């Protein structure tokens, strides 16, 4: 949600292009039967969050064949050693060792094509995506050195929202890792998801004092409930609040934060043809 908020805020300052990267999705999506539904649901999320087709261009990556053509050309000038050093490639290999395909290795090259085809000068990214963007700059620079000044080297616009760890407390929140909280969930399902989250590993009983500094729920409270963080920490350390109660407090805050979004999403979902036309 943090990334979407950043995108929405950029609409009045930049000429924005937002792409549903359905081709990128194929690197990890072995069963493609849900792909079209996933695209529709993502656009629904974008519209509900406030992306405006009158201000920004929204489209699916696969609808622009020139992206694939440019990806092929860029792959011819990108050393394999550059791709092998990307941290996210190593992470993906750990997640899906049974399916290490070229798409995973070449992911940054396709991402570069997504950016430079439109001569983009600024790219909204999180800190974890900076290595990909720096590689995109290197690829653009190498292409320009070989064939003349063609593409600008895109600059990063960092999102103000930090990396959010998932419910397992180990990795970044990710749908692929199934440690996420989908923003389109119902309030009831959101509560159920939050209740599965890992908490303070050192706290075994309700009467034990907690250790918020090592608790994943406390970290998530910092993202969604910062105004009550100090009070939550004090109550946790003094065992005045248990992990279940703390999870419920977090779930309620997430639900209240997402309520306007969910109302907008329901309104757009009632107009499926409009969403498809977008």
- Catalytic amino acids? 92, 172, 175
Q: CA-CA distance, 31 to 261, in Å (whole number)?
A: 29
Q: CA-CA distance, 1 to 164, in Å (whole number)?
A: 10
Q: Where are the alpha helices (DSSP H) in 34-149?
A: 35-49, 65-75, 80-84, 87-95, 102-105, 107-116, 130-147
Please work out, in degrees rounded to the nearest 5, the angle formed at the alpha carbon of residue 102 by the alpha carbons of 151 and 28: 100
- For 212-263, the three-class secondary structure string (H helix, E strand, C coil) is HHHCHHHHHHHHHCHHHHHHHHHHHHCCCCCHHHHHHHHHHHHHHHHHHHHH
- CA-based nearest residue to 216, from 238, 204, 198: 198
Alpha carbon 107 to chain centroid distance? Answer: 16
Q: CA-CA distance, 18 to 278, in Å (whole number)?
A: 12
């Amino acid at each position: 949600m943090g990334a979407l908020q950043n995108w929405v805020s950029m609409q009045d300052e930049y000429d924005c292009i937002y792409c549903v990267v359905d081709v990128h999705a194929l690197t990890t999506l072995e069963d493609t039967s849900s792909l079209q539904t996933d695209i529709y649901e993502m656009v629904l999320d974008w519209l509900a969050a406030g992306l405006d087709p009158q201000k920004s261009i929204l489209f699916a990556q696969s609808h622009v064949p020139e992206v694939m053509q440019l990806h092929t050309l860029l792959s011819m000038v990108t050393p394999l050693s550059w791709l092998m050093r990307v941290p996210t490639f190593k992470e993906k290999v750990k997640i899906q060792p049974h399916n290490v395909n070229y798409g995973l290795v070449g992911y940054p090259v396709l991402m570069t094509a997504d950016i430079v085809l439109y001569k983009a000068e600024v790219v909204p990214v999180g800190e974890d995506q900076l290595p990909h963007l720096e590689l995109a700059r290197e690829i653009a620079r190498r292409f320009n050195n070989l064939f003349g000044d063609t593409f600008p080297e895109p600059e990063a616009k960092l999102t103000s929202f930090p990396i959010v760890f998932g419910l397992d407390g180990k990795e970044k929140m990710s749908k692929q890792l199934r440690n996420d909280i989908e923003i389109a969930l119902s309030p009831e399902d959101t509560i159920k998801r939050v209740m599965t989250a890992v908490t303070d590993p050192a706290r075994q009983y309700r009467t034990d004092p907690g250790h918020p500094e090592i608790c994943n729920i406390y970290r998530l409270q910092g993202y969604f409930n910062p105004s009550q963080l100090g009070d939550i920490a004090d109550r946790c350390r003094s065992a005045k609040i248990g992990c279940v109660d703390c999870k419920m407090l977090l779930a309620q805050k997430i639900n209240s934060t997402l309520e306007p979004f969910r109302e907008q999403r329901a309104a757009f979902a009632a107009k499926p043809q409009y969403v498809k036309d977008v």
